[in-house]
Structure 1
Amino acid sequence: MASTALNLLSITLLLSILTNASGKDILRGDETIRDGETIVSANGEFELGFFRAGSSTNRYLGIWFKKMSYGTVVWVANRDRPLNNTSGMLRIDNKAILLLVDAALIWSANSSTFVKNPVAQLLDTGNLVFRDEQDGGSENFVWQSFDYPGDTMLPGMKFGKNLVTGRQWYYSSWKSVDDPSPGNFVHRMDTHGYPQLLLWKGSELQARTGPWVGNRFSGDPVPKANRIYLNEFFIEPREIYYAFHLFNTSSTRPATRLILDPNGNRQRLIWNDQNQEWRTYLTILVTDCDRSAPCGPYATCDVNSSPKCACLRGFKPKIPEKWEAADWRDGCVHINPLNCGHGDGFVKFSGVKLPDTRQSWYNLTMNLEECKSMCLKNCNCTACSNINVEKEGSGCLLWFGGLIGINGYTEDAQSIYVRMPASDLDESATDESNNSGLRRIIFISISVALTAMSALILLLLFMKRKLKRKVYSHFTGTSSSNGEENLELPLFDFRKIVNATTNFSHDNKIGEGGFGPVYKGMLEDGQLIAVKRLSDSSRQGIDEFKNEVSLIAKLQHRNLVSLLGYCIEDQERVLIYEYMPNGSLDSFIFDKGKRSLADWERYYSIINGVARGLLYLHQDSKLRIIHRDLKASNVLLDHDMNPKISDFGMARSFGGSQTEANTTRVVGTYGYMSPEYAIDGLFSTKSDVYSFGVLVLEILSGKRNRCFEHPDHNLNLLGHAWRCFSEDRLKDLLDGIILEPSNECEAFRDIQIGLLCVQEYPEDRPNMSSVVLMLNSKTALPNPKKPGFFTERKRHEKDYSSSKHILSSSNDYSITAISPR
């Protein structure tokens, strides 16, 4: 039926084309194309001109195949504004491609850019582009038809979203084979949570193809190896999109395309040159299991089963009476309730179509064990899986709330791990025990064979570490019997550091902190380093030095600065770090000249990077670490402006389930310290969250919390931000950020997240896992309560220099403000 319709369309199109008048692929400013005239791509792959669809008498401007499948239309310009006669004319000016009838504009490809030498060119990819003729060798297109798809996807086209401009590449069906105007069905990518493809019929969700899992979308059939095309999926800072490309780009390649037909079915067609017809390679039909998740949460749907809905193992119908009456919409619930923090685990379900990801979070670099660990630490997390199922799997995808839209599962490589209470894990363990005997025998055999070699290696490592502890104890005068100084860091020779910094030359000095001066250096192998040298006048001493070395040596994260080694010689105490060419964050956000150079994407990336670094410190590192001095000058920027948290001299580690502590020596920086820490000496992960919130508001406003001034009030930056939020004036807070209209909501959302982090009471503040989730999803946010230190202060001339130290005799209260590096 579909083949007959396509052939009919091709025949009517062939009859409608009279001549190929221009015989070329370019239309210039002094030329026109009238009905009956066409332009043809350089190698004759595609043709552009006027046609009529099927039995319709309306005329359309479109692109169709020429060399293969002559007349098969792939793009239509005036889909919803057909011409009722043959008086149409195509021409261009310096800003647009224009379709006119009797000087009346019917359709245009507008651009805001003025083009000096405009041309419209039809490429052999099927892409109609508008560009400057002088840019013939580049892809610097001012406009292209690939950005405005119809019902057809060709190789090289994108399906997804530009995160900077907000442009979406999506597909909409024809109304019928006789009418190319937008039909009832739209297929688009949803980027709330982990990206997935959704098929809509008007405002009604018809089907999910599911998220990308490494070689396909989760709801698509497992692809077989082919030599025709390659599927690809990209998650990039500026774009998220799917595309496919041909393996063979020669003129003899087989043609392939994806279409969304008027009935909402998605098909991949491949041209059979021998029979001169399109063959259906793959069809994805909309079934009863696709529409509106008919089985509800925690249930699977299988159209080949009766009944089609079934609860996952370990779950029962939420409302049994409705379930028995074939009303499955309320879904299922745990038979035994979850007990967060008391032995919850996971049960593996293989081969599922992954659930709806609109309430999900993802990380592309985590492994499965890290993913499970993160899920168990968040009581709202209900399931996890790898993102990429190929090979050994990679990436992390977490779900929050009920799992909706799971289709029937079979045994293949795709799996989801559903959170279960400890009481439901025994059965899974029993299932595994049948296969464990053989594995145990193999393991024991290998272990015996390697015992002698392992013992020798361990002995050598023990001797090496014992020697390092002895060296450390000798220079610090401390005992290493407890093993705390068992460091996996190089011990640098002081003479090498002297040579690297040209004897700590003033020309190489790049900053000064509470620890001491910081110098730029270069090792003999050419590696650039940053050298922190403990000064005689430093308010920090050997305890802070040991603390920083022992803590940061155990930390590895892309958003934490890397400690390369240390040096202890006589009275010298030196730390060697990776060099950060863009300096500290405060030198960037508080400098109006530098600040105006970055767009919103850069600021968002910095905020998100700092949040991920803190999340690692609080939850994912071997130790639970409270930084206690997070501020703009302690965030460094690498060559690509990626943020890295630094300066762990004041940090403290927690063990086990400890979440807070009290100190009689309060250290940190005024303006970033939470109320409970500054007043009572009580610090926890929530005190770091407060500092992060201050930092977010400083990044977005370009103003320091401390010393903030406003002509209308005497509030600090936090109070000003809360007032702007309460009065719906968030735009007043943003300063010097290159912000597109499409980014405003995201910027306002980040302000609200910052205010949630600086709420007065720690129990009101979110933890960092929730902050990261809020930054990377579109879930609704609660309204923030009053921030800490909100009271208006009396301002004095030259009050509170940012470099002052403030002491309190009541509790040995010391606050250190460190200058930028």
Structure 2
Amino acid sequence: MKVGWNFRTGLERHLTSWRSAHDPSPGDYTFRYKIDGLPQLEISSNGSAKVFRSEPWNGVMFGGRPRGLIIDVENFFVYNGTDAYYAFQTLKEDIITIITLSPDGVLQRFVLNDESGKWDLIYSVPTDTCDIYGQCGANGVCQVSQSPRCRCPQGFMPKSQAEWDRLNMAGGCIRKVPLNCSRGEGFTKLSQVKLPDLVDFQLFKHMSLKECKVECLKNCSCMAYANSNNRGPGCLLWFGNLIDVRDIKENDIVGYDQYLFLRLPASELDSFHSLSKKLVAITVASAISGLLIVGTAFSIIWQRRMKSRGLPSGMDDIDLPLYDFTTVSVATNHFSQANKIGEGGFGLVYKGTFSTGQEVAVKRLSKYSGQGPDEFMNEVLLIARLQHRNLVGLIGCCIEGEERMLIYEYMPNKSLDYFIIDHDRSSSLAWKRRFDIVLGTARGLLYLHQDSKLQVIHRDLKTSNILLDAEWNPKISDFGLARVFQGDDMEAKTRRIIGTYGYMSPEYAFDGKFSMKSDVFSFGVLLLEIVSSKRNRGFQHPDHHHTLLGHAWLLWREGRAMELIDESVCASIVESQAKRCI
């Protein structure tokens, strides 16, 4: 049996169920080989809804499978420039075996019985209730030999205890104490479990398990980590909820020794470790009690100060001014409509003037916004560590009660899209100014990708996120969706596709895969919009139905690229620079 892809022909080999036992027309279920960062085997219903999945290929095998799958067979896994497939063959020539996918979505292996002439069922998948995809909901662990069937791991509790009491556990589990990137956070080790699905993850192919732990602790959104390759280095990081985790009995899997390291706040870590820390603290206290008392006093004062201001403890090592709500409210004329200067996925943006005369732009997180506290923290932690003349400067923030505000340097010339979408205003952007904006944006992007200590993927580069200061210098803004990568070998994928259509690269929009190349694609769209003063999204042409990108490609192939240029800048254009942008 072979399932997989031939990259030369683009053809996929998969197994499709019959409509019924007596109707051989294609049914609702498909067994296929999927590559989402790492290969997995999946059974899906109607082409998308997962019914069953194996673990990712770990360099040796697909984990989470019953022993019957590997009896008397040799497994093959191929992934190269021309083919990607999974196959197996019997170890003995006299064994005749077949694989079928039943009309109700059960993968079955049969072996021909020489004596009876009948096909004997060797195994089937799903094998038990815990094999059914996402049986225990987000962060739940399915345990087939226990009652109740689902459990919440250490540090978690049922999302709805009432539903769990009624044995309806599909709602899954939530944390008892939220993560906040504070010092002392660590991991609990889950042994003999099927690794979570690759929904929102990062893969580092050449990173050790120790380095993997450090990498996870760097990112407040990192939920868990594991080794991705039993034969050597390899690191998998999970973000968001963990889906489709189950216990694996040791006798179910041959040579299975996979572990998942689940992140927990200090207060939820193993009580034994907590007790050990307390004993060490007591011992130290008896020797240097005076210093400890002073240190404790300062710690209490500091924690109370942080709590009174609502500041997450993960920010206590960031040198960033904190403003109280009253100061910001007065500066923005109590967030009056007259001071409103913009609106985005984060919320509203207001112009403010402090008593010192300093002008600022205040982004106020709305409770109705598409972004939330995670994106807010992401932007604070990132932009506070990034310094470049082509990145917008973060002056401070306000965190008080439910209020979350970011305070930036004020950009008197607004954003690039303010000029691009308006014909009258676009005429004020002569070619030299446009090309300077292109170069400045490129410098800022190069800094994010290559020159900063953190390798940052912006993920939402667009004209409205390019701000212009008084001298028309471009500043890249809005880092709420940005991700930090480290190392040369990295891949990332998310099921949560967030950003702006029209600027998204195809692999991100359709498959959730993103990298530095995703930002470069967005930068390319931005270039075409700058030279043409037209939006990619919503672009219309009387002769065809292409987007701006498709229109530019048609003109380029026909040697008419300069027809793309906005008429208002034709007089000042430098043709070689314009063609270089296109």
TM-score by length of 2: 0.50
Q: Normalised by the size of structure 1, how large is the TM-score?
A: 0.36
Of structures 1 and 2, the one scoring higher in RCO (CA 8 A, sep 6+) is 2
Larger gyration radius, structure 1 or structure 2 = 1
